Homo-oligomer: A and B are copies of this chain.
Amino acid sequence: MKKIKRIGVLTGGGDAPGLNAVIRAVVKSAFNRNWEVIGIREGFEGLLNISKAKKITTKDITGILNMGGTILGTTNRGNPFQHQVKVGNKVVVRDLSNIIVRNFRKLKLDALVAIGGDGSLGIAKGLKDKGIPIVGVPKTIDNDLKATVITFGYDTAVSTATDALDKLHSTAQSHKRVMVVEVMGRYAGWIALNSGVAGGADVILIPEIPFNLDKVCAKVKERYQTKRNFCIVVVAEGAKPVGGQRIVKATASASRVELLVGIGNMVAEEISKRTGKETRSMVLGHLQRGGNPTTFDRLVGTRFGTAAVRLIAEGKFGRMVCLRPPNIGSVPLEEAISQLNTVPLHSDVIQSGRELGICFGD
């Protein structure tokens, strides 16, 4: 087994609370093994352009454990295997992965830690196949990766969503309103489900259970008939009506600003029309990605970071660390990206919710 002297670390995809905890743990535990660590900026893009790689010092990681975001920067555009390159006036797709392999050598790296979601882990798998000794750390704020029971970022996101529900509760109650909140979760409804149950929601709509607006409105009406006089509705951004399509957000123009006319606003619109009740809606959006990571996320991030370094020390490449409570384990990268972790319909959380009278729209 080759002696490790220097490793690289990068973060890819959307940011998530806890990324800095992983980076810190990777760096501190590498330093304790007398390795050098090269920080690669802006995900895999940083390996296409060697000027974006820089040695990390103790000072760089001081005080970052409880900071949101990532000190390395990230991007959710770009895949080196299918990179968009401008050739004259046209944009063509090129495989630039050889550049990455070349830069990896040029930087004299012995291994690479890639922290990222679905997309980034897929790229990691590709680079592993090209001979790069790589280790993955899973990141998904939606909690939709099957290969790990949970990962960092999700607990902070769901806490932010619950906190928002607490805040909207008093307004809803004081004004006798229906309050509709759209939270993250394109394919998996974990954030909506768990913040909804923890935040005392009356209706929870998730991608796994296509909803029937008649059922939703019946629940709203029941709340007023039984004198509760307000109603909290949580909608995952990927929720869709029975027989319907996931509603893609309308975009106001060709520019890159998303107009916030997602499923939450549409559900609010329909409830207002059909029940006549005063209804307000809001999209939590980027707030869910931000902020100081919770204790749980810092802890999982830290454990993942040291575990990734341990895998490298043991020469176990091509794997991703994962949480198998109470332990940290690892799986081959190919397994890591193959399956989506959606909410099982027979989950006891859903069962609990039903027994509490929560409407899931079905």
Residues of A within 8 A of B (CB): 11, 14-15, 19, 25, 28-29, 32, 63, 65-70, 73-76, 149, 155, 158-160, 162-164, 166-171, 173-176, 179, 194-195, 197-200, 252-253, 255-261, 265, 268-269, 272-273, 278-283, 285-287, 289-292, 294-296, 298-299, 302-303, 306-307, 309-310, 325-328, 347-349, 351-352, 355-357
Contact = CB atoms under 8 A, between A and B. Distances in A.
A310 B305 CA distance: 40
Contacts of A289: 167, 171
Contacts of A298: 162, 197-199
A259 B255 contact: no
A272 B197 CA distance: 37
Contacts of A302: 197-198, 352, 356
A350 B290 CA distance: 27
A287 B168 contact: yes
Tally of this chain's copies: 4
A260 B283 contact: yes
Contacts of A162: 295, 298
Contact of A69 (B32, B73, B173, B200): B173
A9 to B, nearest CB: 15
A310 B355 contact: yes
A166 to B, nearest CB: 6
Contact of A28 (B163, B287, B310, B356): B356
21 contacts: A15-B171, A25-B352, A29-B356, A32-B355, A65-B200, A66-B166, A68-B167, A69-B170, A73-B174, A167-B290, A169-B290, A170-B290, A198-B302, A253-B269, A257-B268, A258-B281, A260-B265, A280-B285, A302-B352, A303-B348, A306-B352
A132 B113 CA distance: 54
Nearest to A273: B255
Contacts of A15: 170-171, 174-175
Contacts of A281: 257-258, 260
Contacts of A273: 253, 255
Contacts of A173: 69, 73
A286 B166 CA distance: 12
Contacts of A197: 298-299, 302
A199 B63 CA distance: 10
A260 B259 CA distance: 9
A307 B352 contact: yes
Contacts of A326: 149, 347
